[in-house]
Chain A
Amino acid sequence: MPGKVNPTQVEALTMIAVQVMANDVAVGFGGAGGYLEMNVYKPLMIANIAESIAILADGCTNFRKFLVEGTQPNRKKIAEYVESSLMLVTALAPVIGYDKASQIAHHAMDHDLTLKQAALQLGLVDEQTFDRVVDPAKMVEPGVAAAAAG
């Protein structure tokens, strides 16, 4: 597919994760397998430990260099999704109550409305209160919106 770019670093790192967890199982069995004065699974143990360290270290380095450091947020999309999310209704719960807030969310979903359109259509909250309370930037830290207009 022309122009297709896949999340290949992610796939490499998640495969490494599986291998490291599998190595852990081998080392665990090996460690449990000593007889009397000496453990006799030592080459198995160090082979798996060394591989885990090596692939984990290289995997982290590549993941950082070729993915994390170049990652940029798609601010436009992020804003669109925040604005269209019906779950912003959560902020209204302390103001109009959980049941009415649910009612607004379901009404918006069933009639393909924005949250605000649904809220005003149902008459469960006035526009001024809605705009004051349903502010995503205020919803990212502890706090409860008050019912009174402020």
Chain B
Amino acid sequence: MSDFRTESDSMGQVQIPADKLWGAQTQRSLEHFSIGNDLIPREMITAYAILKRCAAAANRAEGRLPDEAHDLITRVCDEILAGQHHDMFPLHVWMTGSGTQFNMNVNEVISNRCCQLAGTPLGSKSPVHPNDHVNMSQSSNDSFPSAMNIAAAIGLQRRLIPAVTALRDAIAAKAEEWREIVKIGRTHMQDATPLTLGQEWSGYAGMLTEGLERIDDALKGVYRLALGGTAVGTGINTAMGFAEAVAAEIAKQSGLPFVSAPNKFTVQGAHDALVQLPARCARLRSRSTRSPMISDCCRAGRAPVLPNCTSRKTNPVPRSCRGRSIRRRSRR
């Protein structure tokens, strides 16, 4: 058995390592865009597997995709969703700005894995063709932005929101526990009037609650998918009703309220819903940075501010540190 096999695309033949499931276009991207260490985020593999599975379901329902191809694509997507084949997605972030090479990476891997399952040679593109079947009714230009939205929404719903909510709840529990402890409040890092430790921490919990509300607002736009717009938003080469059908399938598969975007030109020309996401996260971050920084200051040892709290396993603050004399120095 040779270490390489030959596959071809519209530009000619390409040599591909024999044990890899990707095809000619992925190999070309690897050769021309192996830049740095950043790979396309793994979250996009999962998002694309959901997308391709749902596109196959919508295409079969319309009678466009043969049952055999549908069944094989579904099976391979389920394998990917179960964590298999992730090493077959080697492409780097610094590629074409449309993400086309990654879409083709997905199409080629699914096609070749279908070949393996069907007992046909890798690269034969039969019984499942990367473009004609896996990419049916789609273009990179509508599938990549849709996969971005799916990846972002899943990340927020399954990962970020639960983590921030748990942190908020833990802080709120401390606020409740400490609601009677009177401490000295500080402004300009100097003594001001008293408040309770519970009041102070309830403020931190509230900042996180507001951050979560902003993320929730931002998600509305992320649920609008570009699929069905194909190359420039007109929907050429896609069937009537595909956009709505595939969005409904993705909503069902992911359990998240995805819909077809009312205007495909809008969501292919710009990704404003995604643009505001990290800003919302950053806002959340600037909020939650406050609490650690403040608690950091307040538990500093001999340093300028106040050892109000200790965390687990931390040392008691030296007795010699008299707050008042320190404050007097800092005032002058």
Contact = CB atoms under 8 A, between A and B. Distances in A.
Contact of A45 (B96, B183, B271, B312): B271
Contacts of A49: 148, 151-152, 155, 274, 277-278
Given A50-B151, A53-B156, A58-B163, A27 B274 contact: yes
A16 B167 CA distance: 15
Contacts of B195: 140
Nearest to B159: A57
How large, as a class, is the contact surface on chain A? 35 or more
Contact of A13 (B38, B148, B288, B311): B288
B193 to A, nearest CB: 5
Contacts of B265: 37
A44 B95 CA distance: 9
A77 B315 CA distance: 13
Contacts of A4: 315
Given A50-B151, A51-B41, A42 B97 contact: yes
How large, as a class, is the contact surface on chain B? 35 or more
B213 interface: no
Interface stretch (B51-59, B241-249, B279-287): B279-287
Contacts, number: 253
A9 B170 contact: no
A148 B98 CA distance: 76
B94 interface: yes
B106 to A, nearest CB: 13
A32 B270 CA distance: 8
B309 interface: yes
A144 interface: no
Contacts of B278: 20, 23-24, 27-28, 48-49, 52
A82 B194 CA distance: 7
Contacts of B323: 80-81, 84
A67 B204 CA distance: 15
A21 B191 contact: no
B99 A50 contact: no
Contacts of B317: 74, 77
9 contacts: A5-B314, A17-B286, A42-B271, A46-B99, A49-B151, A68-B171, A73-B308, A74-B307, A77-B308
Interface of B: 38, 40-41, 43-44, 93-99, 102, 141, 144-145, 148, 151-152, 155-156, 159-160, 162-164, 166-167, 170-171, 174, 178, 181-184, 191-197, 199, 232-233, 265, 268-272, 274-275, 277-279, 281-282, 284-286, 288-289, 292-293, 295-296, 299, 306-317, 323-324, 328, 331
